[in-house]
Structure 1
């Protein structure tokens, strides 16, 4: 396989096996069920789904934290099942988790961000350059001498992201990175992810159940019961309000308002994503 894809999953199935205390198999849960997708370098992809849809399990295959039960996953052309590839895969595809406290280990912000490059054997002078560049990218440079314990949740999460950026990955997987944050912290983290994508050209995979976070994506995948049920641009996905409701997902409030206005006979386009779009659509109506 050539590596024109940053990530590729082909017929991926993953089963969690539950065992009792004696180690006997009690049951098997199929978390991902024969799923395929491709992500091109430089894309911003969002994967949506309610809890238990398989979205986080899928994310963990993209940096070889999990290996397929069946099927194949490639990261930049490297098969995740090949043990020789795992180190390279984890450098190329960095992962940011839901709880920043599980990811932050340093006593001082800049030490924490330098931990990854140090483990990679990067020369000290270059580590400090990377730490500075990474912290500036996420807007946390002035906190470099602070203890992470004194930061807000959103600030800690940006430090976690800086720690991944310092390893110079080609792809960053954000697994529900804002689930534990307040609305301002969530905005900061999404802003940082968008900047990495647009300015640095890093491929972004955002796993979330917050609808508002996916409107900037190139493509959105909607998962349910281990399957990809929908895929398309945010506008195409949010034009299908009833289908999303069937999958127990909401839509951004402004999208829902536009949808309800349209149902009441106003000539408004489908898939409105922002307040400005809605205002312009209403202004454009002929009474």
Structure 2
């Protein structure tokens, strides 16, 4: 069952001059059709300005489409009476955790969302406990968020969304401001949520290494979906990705170069283990 279904989605930003006359129109989304099945981990890749963050904001009804259809958990985002229900089921995690963390103590911040939803106090604390455990932050529940690392703050932000018990979490470049260790922490927490809690995850990113475990990948450029498929299909097309100025995981690139040099290695190598096994087979031939 699809939890997200976008059909021919268009979003236009209208520029106006000082006299409020239309001076230009930019299509941030241009005929975008994307489907996400419940329980899947879907990644949306693209450079800044590709439209991926604009699409993310439509899922949470922060933006409304100019035309086309977007259904979230069976509800049309254009129906204003469904906005609150959509936001309950589609939680957003943004790039900068400091913009989402508002309380002075970690556990209070995680409980803020459920409290706003009118959840009973006893149930709030149960959710706080469960959410912090899910992202591996229980030991920090009484800490000040200001004392945490970037990766820890982002995990607290994710816990705050998880505590609201949405069916789907949209993460808009959640690791863009983090160092490699922080990025690893956050991606592990996201993957855990998806695999163990069956929460649908939509990851918006431009880091290719973060999406090798995704169920499905969409690649966007200039507001359009230009490629789609499972990670292995996408990363098998190294030259096509390069044409669109997109990187590939370093292991995939190394395997691609080795194949070009004449080694019998399959396309779409994603992990170090796969490359080692492929090289072992070559050495035994």
TM-score bracket for the superposition, by shorter chain length: over 0.9
Give the 5 Å matches for 1:162-173: 162-173=159-170
For 2:119 and 2:187, locate their aligned partners in 1 and report how far apart those are by CA, in whole Å.
28
Match of 2:37 in 1: 40
Is 2:213 the partner of 1:212?
A: no
Is 2:9 the partner of 1:12?
A: yes
Aligned residue for 2:202, secondary structure, equals strand
Q: How big is the shift at 1:23? A: 2.3
Match of 2:143 in 1: 146
Give the 5 Å matches for 1:183-194: 183-194=180-191
Q: How big is the shift at 1:27? A: 1.2
Is 2:188 the partner of 1:182?
A: no
Cα deviations by residue, 1:106-159 (Å, 9 ceiling, x for unpaired) = 110000000000000000000000001000100011100011111111000000
Segments of structure 1 that go 5 or more residues without pairing to the other structure are none
Q: How big is the shift at 1:17? A: 1.1
Q: TM-score, normalised by structure 2?
A: 0.98
For 2:31 and 2:42, locate their aligned partners in 1 and report how far apart those are by CA, in whole Å.
20
Segments of structure 2 that go 5 or more residues without pairing to the other structure are none
Counterpart of 1:197 (choices 194, 201, 216) is 194
Q: How big is the shift at 1:223? A: 0.4
For 1:22 and 1:163, locate their aligned partners in 2 and report how far apart those are by CA, in whole Å.
43
For 1:254 and 1:210, locate their aligned partners in 2 and report how far apart those are by CA, in whole Å.
14
Aligned residue for 2:2, secondary structure, equals coil
Q: TM-score, normalised by structure 1?
A: 0.98
Counterpart of 1:91 (choices 88, 93, 96) is 88
RMSD: 0.7
**Structure 1 stretches of at least 4 aligned residues deviating more than 6 Å after TM superposition:** none
For 1:84 and 1:221, locate their aligned partners in 2 and report how far apart those are by CA, in whole Å.
30
Match of 1:250 in 2: 247
Match of 1:267 in 2: 264
For 1:230 and 1:219, locate their aligned partners in 2 and report how far apart those are by CA, in whole Å.
11
Q: How big is the shift at 1:21? A: 3.3
Cα deviations by residue, 1:137-188 (Å, 9 ceiling, x for unpaired) = 0001110001111111100000000000000000000000000000000001
Aligned residues: 284
